Amino acid sequence: MTNPAHDAIKAEIENNDVVLFMKGTASMPQCGFSSRVAGVLTYMGVPFKDVNVLADESLRQGIKEFSDWPTIPQLYVKGEFIGGCDIVTEMTLSGELDKLFEEKGIPFDKEAADRIREANA
């Protein structure tokens, strides 16, 4: 039996190189963790699709089942589940996120990424 929420999630991930499933939108985040990840991506100039899970309860529950990850936000890059706020923060500070974007051909502002690391050193 197909799951409409899973189908919608799969379509977003397949049709967008970078997708952030979050509470609220990039311009109006509804939680601090979603705000942090959207802020990092925006600051680094990464083009991404924001999907507001609060707009649809089946989507909110569905993304947790889809990724087998209990929390939101959730970041996907080129179809691959990357993680939530803590993982994205760690990857940003370690430079792993830069490497991932470079490997996947995702445009980003390397200088902005360096400034984030300098500010958090």
* Binding positions for [2Fe-2S] cluster: 31
Handedness of CA 100, 35, 112, 90 (dihedral sign): negative
User: Which residues on adjacent β-strands are paired with residue 80?
Assistant: 77
Both tokens assigned to 8: 């919608």
Task: Outline where DSSP puts E strands in 5-116.
Answer: 18-22, 49-52, 74-77, 80-83
Handedness of CA 58, 63, 64, 68 (dihedral sign): positive
How far is residue 63's CA from residue 15's CA, in Å, rounded to a whole number?
Answer: 16
Q: Binding-site residues, please?
A: 31
